[in-house]
Amino acid sequence: MRNLAKLNILSLASVRAKIKKKTRRLNMTKKISPAERIKQYRYSTDREESCTAHLSLRIPPSQKAKLKQVEGWQEEVRKLIEELTDRATA
């Protein structure tokens, strides 16, 4: 029984060693710079103009709580602001 357990432990260790070796080999062939790694997590958008400008607005806490309950409220507010600015410039 002990020999069987020892055999399972040895085989598990050898499998782990093979996986580790294979992973090392893959990592060596795919040298990715830190900048490239960070790039995949960067904010991206499909808009014509990205939303990078900030706008601060004071509203009552009760109104803020109601607003947060609306799904996709940020996009809805952006649309309303766009409509307002379009009307003002027309």
Please state the pTM of the whole predicted model.
Answer: 0.50
Asked if 36 and 3 sit in the same domain, the reply is yes
Task: Identify the residue with better confidence: 83 or 11.
Answer: 83
DSSP 6-63: HHHHHHHHHHHHHHHHHHHHHHHHS---HHHHHHTTS----SSS-----------HHH
Look at the chain and count its residues: 90
Closest CA to 57 of 86, 84, 77: 77
- What per-residue confidence (pLDDT) applies to 80? 94
How many domains, in total, are found in the chain? 2
Q: Please write the tens of the pLDDT for every residue from 22-78.
A: 666 655 556 777 788 787 777 677 778 888 889 999 999 999 999 999 999 998 999
State which residues form the domain around 64. Answer: 59-90
Q: Is the pLDDT of residue 6 over 80?
A: no
In a domain, 48, yes or no: no
Residue 51 lies in a domain: no
- Residue 52: inside a domain: no
**Does the residue 53 lie in any domain?**
no
Q: Examine the pLDDT at 10 and tell me if it is beyond 80.
A: no
d(CA 88, CA 39): 38
pLDDT: is 19 or 3 the higher one? 19
* 66/36 same-domain check: no
